[in-house]
Amino acid sequence: MAVLSNYESRQGSLKCGVNRAYAFITDFRNFGRFANSNSIADWQADRESCSFNVAMLGKVGVRLAEKEETGKVVYRGNASGNIDFTVTVGLSGNDTEPSKISINLSAYLNPVMKMMADKPVRMFLDLLISEIESFDGWEDIEG
């Protein structure tokens, strides 16, 4: 029986204001630059959805489900046809100073899958926040 599992990142600091960050994360075409060929293949994206293949996980599809101007963005997705997940990105701050970001991933996982996924998901969120903090391309966005 699958149970809702929640994973939260630490809060990160961005090198841009909240409006620039919001514009970036609400257009999937901006994420293509992060599609590492070693772990992600067959990247396809339009403004509101993307799909790709991940080694050892299979096909992943994600769509923009909800957005609150400069505050919260929710993505819903499915991995391998049987794992539904939600990613919620929280933004805070203003446009005159660097903003803050946090990421929450929720998925219905059976106990065995949860045990296997727990450490890799936490490591992924830590890595993702670190990569976001070091990112310098906020001015070079689609949309």
> pLDDT tens-digit profile of 30-56?
888 777 667 788 999 999 999 998 877
φ and ψ of 34, to 5 deg: -100, 0
- Write down the pLDDT at residue 37: 65
Residue 126 has pLDDT above 70, yes or no: yes
Q: Strand pairing partners for 88? A: 74, 104
Among 85, 80, 41, which Cα is nearest to 63's? 85
DSSP letter at 108? Answer: E
pLDDT more than 70, % of the chain? 97
Instruction: Please report the beta strands in 1-118, taking only residues with DSSP state E, as ranges in sequence order.
Output: 3-8, 12-13, 40-45, 49-54, 58-68, 72-79, 83-92, 100-109
Q: Domains, the chain, ranges and CATH?
A: 3-134 (3.30.530.20)
Among 101, 86, 82, 97, which Cα is nearest to 22's? 101
